[in-house]
Amino acid sequence: MIEIISEKKCIGCNQCVSVCPTNVFDRVEDGIPKIARQSDCQTCFMCELYCPVDALYVAPEAETAVFPAEEQLESRGLLGGYREKVGWGPGRQPVSRHEGMYQLALKTGL
Amino acid sequence: MSEARQWDGLNLEADVLVIGGGPAGAWAAITAAQNGSSVVLVDKGYCGSSGATAPSGTGVWYVQPDPEKRKAAKESRYTMGGHLAENRWMDRVLDRTYEIMNRLEEYGYPFPLDGNGVAYKRGLQGPEYMKLMRKLVLKAGVKILDHSPALELLADEHGVGGARGVRTQRGDSWTVRAGAVVIATGGCAFLSKALGCNVLTGDGYLLAAEAGASMSGMEFSNAYAISPIFSSVTKTAYYRYATFYYEDGTIVEGAGSTRGRSVIARNLLQGRQVYARLDQAPEDLQPLLRIGQTNFFLPFDRAGINPFTDLFPVTLRLEGTVRGTGGIQIIDDTCATEVPGLYAAGDAATRELICGGFTGGGSHNAAWAMSSGSFAGEGASNYARKLGPKAAARRLKGLSSSPLTSAPAGRPERTAEHIRAVQDEVMPYDRNLFRTEKVLAESLGRLDSLWEELRQTPVERSAAGVKGREAAAMTATARWMYRSALARTETRGMHKRADYPQLDPNQRYRLIAEGLDEITVSRQQVEEEALVH
């Protein structure tokens, strides 16, 4: 479930509020969004993917809150890690274009 | 029933209203708009991130128009689906999918290139695909209302003429009067947290049934996906490389991702945890697998598990009719329902026409979403054009089976209890996966009582009320599922009757479930045509 909106990084663009399919966040007047309904989170990682400054972290645990520490996630390179792998963001190539996609299909039919 | 004009908030008129902004809804909206209609698309979440496709990657049933290749493609799942698919529908979906995938390349979808620099179009990455679809929907001139779940359809004696609902982030209502409505709300996964599926609560089935539409193939509704026990990621393709183990490291005989899922379920039912490890994946393949499905590895990487070398506990998460094939019955090539002005597409519509009673991977589902979406968009657009200016003068009424009110209604904790009660009937493997007459009948007794209660429970026109309608939709869905499952006294496709474990050649027909309070199930013949000419 969604665990973190980094106060340090968030620029208050509210993109996560818009894209969350299950409406987990609330806009806050003159502030950064808040996680208002964590238990409605379906752990789809879309908010994290759409965050332009890698300020969000969705923990893999779908049923339970795990309260991770931001500093540790940061040091493990997990903030923004998914966006990097999908290839979104300036200077990146979408993974959908990756030649490995075709090689995988050739080898496995997947 | 209440007069349509009573609700405050946003009021819009359009030729076509599309409910649902996943791939089927997006293609319906684009096709209708390109056909000259004004279109509004409403999504309960956000068109671009909502639904089962956006967070996933999926194969696509993209087959060159070469007779041999097409024949093999059609035959590949025909038997698994219990011979309920129809040749003509498979042909037209293969044709339309081929056309749409080629258009996606023109529109700029970043396909990988093969050795000759030619786009390889057998798959789509959900985030990329749905981000592009939103752009295309807007470019086509469609008005999108995000975070705008529908609460009820509007209709008069001539048929459906719009819908209304709430804007959850603004706290007000919306009403759209339209010549035709396309339901593209997805299937129903009963809030199981299967990836991207918690917006898929059968809402469109209920809306359609309240207008008088029937459901087809609702017995094919017991798809369960393998996932790590802690995780929402229900992508199962890579489990072909898995070996399944008990806690002590001995192998679970017969367990597997395609035919051995029942073995996993039986162990879990007995309280024996099953573990998986993708130790059949050759080392040189592993980096490619990581590229193929980034989201598959995400939970493992974050949990510090290497799925190729570490054992991890698995569970089976219900995907209901999202991967199952049942849905709203469609009666012609335009994906029209029995109700004038009402169309259905994607997982909301029955997918039996191309899959019969079984879906393996997502490739047929993705093909169905884009094809049926475009068929429905075209059909709805032409229907609305025929209505002409008369549409605006119609006196429409709301069709919700539960009373909708502007006053605060009910207690939210009651809704949570209702949802839990439905889940208790549809999630257990010894109810829904392995079905018996006795257990289905017991569940139906409780579900019928729950339906009676929900039917009388007022639903507030608010975000809380939306959850109440979701509970009603899930209850209705479960009742169509189990009524149909009781009527099919055999094992066919994904429908498994423990008390009738064999396929019965005399039951090669579709089951149509009709009604809300009283449900009747009738048989419909499958269109007879040789699979290949």
Per-residue pLDDT of chain B (533 residues; tens, 9 = 90+): 445 456 889 999 999 999 999 999 999 999 999 999 999 999 999 999 999 999 998 999 999 999 999 999 999 889 999 999 999 999 999 999 999 999 999 999 999 999 899 999 999 999 999 999 999 999 999 999 999 999 999 999 999 999 999 999 999 999 999 999 999 999 999 999 999 999 999 999 999 999 999 999 999 999 999 999 999 999 899 999 999 999 999 999 999 887 789 999 999 999 999 999 999 999 999 999 999 999 999 999 999 999 999 999 999 999 999 999 999 999 999 999 999 999 999 999 999 999 999 986 779 999 999 999 999 999 999 999 999 877 778 999 999 999 999 887 767 789 999 999 999 999 999 999 999 999 999 999 999 999 999 999 999 999 999 999 999 999 999 999 999 999 999 999 999 999 999 999 999 999 999 999 999 999 999 987 666 54
The torsion of the CA quartet B23, B26, B28, B29, rounded to 10 degrees, works out to: 180
B380 and B433 belong to one structural domain: no
- pTM for this prediction: 0.97
Q: Are A46 and B54 in contact (CB < 8 Å)?
A: yes
The torsion of the CA quartet B363, B369, B375, B377, rounded to 10 degrees, works out to: -160
- Degrees (nearest 5) of the Cα angle B516, B211, B344? 105
B75 and B213 belong to one structural domain: yes
B252 within 8 A of B270, measured Cβ to Cβ: no
**Any domain includes B208:** yes
Measured between CB atoms, does B533 come within 8 Å of chain A?
no
B83 and B150 belong to one structural domain: yes
Structural domain count of chain B: 3
Give all strands (DSSP E) within B171-242, no chain letters: 172-183, 215-216, 223-228
**Any domain includes B394:** yes
Measured between beta carbons, the chain A residues lying within 8 angstroms of B58 are none
Q: Which of B45, B46, B120 sits opposite A102 (nearest CB)?
A: B120
Q: Which one of B257, B284, B317 terminates a domain?
A: B317
**Any domain includes B64:** yes
Q: Which one of B370, B398, B426 terminates a domain?
A: B398
Q: What is the DSSP code (8-state) at residue B433?
A: I
By C-alpha distance, the chain B residue nearest A64 is B230
Strand, helix or coil for residue A5: strand
Domain CATH number, residue B298: 3.90.700.10
Q: Which of A60, A95, A108 sits opposite B230 (nearest CB)?
A: A60
Q: Which one of B377, B398, B419 terminates a domain?
A: B398
B366 within 8 A of B23, measured Cβ to Cβ: yes
Strand partners, B397: B3, B155
By C-alpha distance, the chain A residue nearest B363 is A110
The domain defined by A2-108 folds into Alpha-Beta Plaits (3.30.70)
Provide residues of A within 8 Å CB-CB of chain B: 17-23, 27, 40, 42-46, 49-50, 59-64, 78, 81-82, 85-86, 88, 93-105, 107-108, 110
Beta strand B39-42 with B143-145 is parallel
- Can you tell me the ipTM of this complex? 0.97
Burial A52-69 (b: 16+ CB within 10 A, else e): ebbbbbbbbbbeeeeebe
The gap between the terminal CA atoms of chain B, to the nearest Å, is 51
For residue B335, the enclosing domain spans: 4-221+324-398
B189 within 8 A of B227, measured Cβ to Cβ: no
